[in-house]
Amino acid sequence: MNAQRVAVVTGGSRGIGRAIATTLAARGFAVVVGYTRDAGAAKDVVGEIVAADGAAVTAQVDVAEAEAVEAMFGTAQDTFGGVDVVVNSAGRMTLSPIAELDLDDLDRLHRTNIRGTFVMAREAARRVRSGGAIVNLSTSVVGLGFPTYGAYVASKGAVEAMTMVLARELRGRDITVNAVAPGPTATELFFEGKDEETVQRLAKQPPLERLGTPQDIAEVVAFLAGPTGRWVNGQVIRANGGIV
């Protein structure tokens, strides 16, 4: 095994992605922090990692564009020598009743969540080294079926299906492929468009009676990316505090 393993994390500048990037760095990974627009936030993540004696660089990427994704993997190769773990955390969420959804919004959501995950998974399948791991981010709402989440759930259902297929396609490569499906998690994306009553109602639904934190999700991802998670493959882990 390589002296230092290398992780590529998309959506790494904020929320769950940021927590994943810093947690993997704390576990000894060199990290490529993928971001779309907020270069300052991505640089802050790298600064936090480097200040803790870790190794990290930023990479601007539109995950739906093959050339941009290839360039990001090239940055990992040129800077750190290869890729061992890929975490597809970049995502978009649009909430609306199905009957009222603007189809342009649907197209934008699916471009990031479905096409973006597919492009990332394709490049990961070509590049990840033996002993590596691919982790996609889904949502527990796939199983919960909350109103207004129809378009988002449709995109994440596709992510879960891709995860199962890719795990089987990589037979013999010693690469695991799993998805983590958070429940309600305290991120900017979660709070956007929700009033306090809605937030409190969702926080009370799990038996643990709280929202998840980005760190809760990052710890699950780190387990799947690390040596103790090697026997978990082709699974969707619903990290949601027992919400039903």
Helices (H), the chain: 15-26, 39-51, 66-80, 103-110, 116-127, 141-144, 150-169, 188-191, 196-204, 214-225
Q: Which residues on adjacent β-strands are paired with residue 56?
A: 31
- CA-to-CA distance for 155 and 93, rounded, in angstroms? 10
Which residues face 176 on adjacent strands? 133
Instruction: Please say whether the beta carbons of 187 and 147 come within 8 A.
Output: no
Burial label, 228 (beta-carbon count in 10 A; 0-12, 13-18, 19+): exposed
Q: Return all residues near 47 (Cβ < 8 A) that are at least 6 apart.
A: none
152 is catalytic: yes
Catalytic residue among 152, 153, 181, 238: 152
Helix or strand (DSSP H, E) at 179:
strand 176-180
In whole angstroms, what separates CA 190 from the centre of its chain? Answer: 15
Burial class (CB in 10 A: 0-12, 13-18, 19+), 47: exposed
Among all residues, which ones are annotated catalytic?
A: 152
